[in-house]
């Protein structure tokens, strides 16, 4: 998260949550980076 690859969570009380679409985007970017290496 500190390097900017994972977006900051939305805080709901003591819970941290991320929008599903943002997590899918992170996963797709990781796949693209892996395939390019």
| pLDDT value for 4 | 72
User: 26: Cβ–Cβ under 8 A, 6 or more apart, which residues?
Assistant: 5, 6, 7
Per-residue pLDDT averaged across 17-37, rounded? 91
Quick check: 26 and 18 in contact, CB under 8 A? no
Residues 37, 35: Cα–Cα separation, whole Å: 6
Domain that holds residue 16: 1-37
Per-residue pLDDT averaged across 3-29, rounded? 92
| pLDDT value for 21 | 95
Count of structural domains, the chain: 1
| pLDDT value for 16 | 96
Residues 7, 24: Cα–Cα separation, whole Å: 11
Per-residue pLDDT at 2 exceeds 90: no
The pTM of the full predicted model, rounded to 2 decimals, is 0.68
Residues 29, 5: Cα–Cα separation, whole Å: 9
pLDDT top residue among 2 and 3: 3
């Amino acid at each position: 998260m500190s390097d900017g690859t994972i977006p900051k969570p939305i805080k709901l009380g003591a819970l941290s949550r991320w929008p599903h679409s943002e997590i899918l985007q992170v996963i797709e970017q990781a796949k693209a980076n892996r395939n390019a290496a």
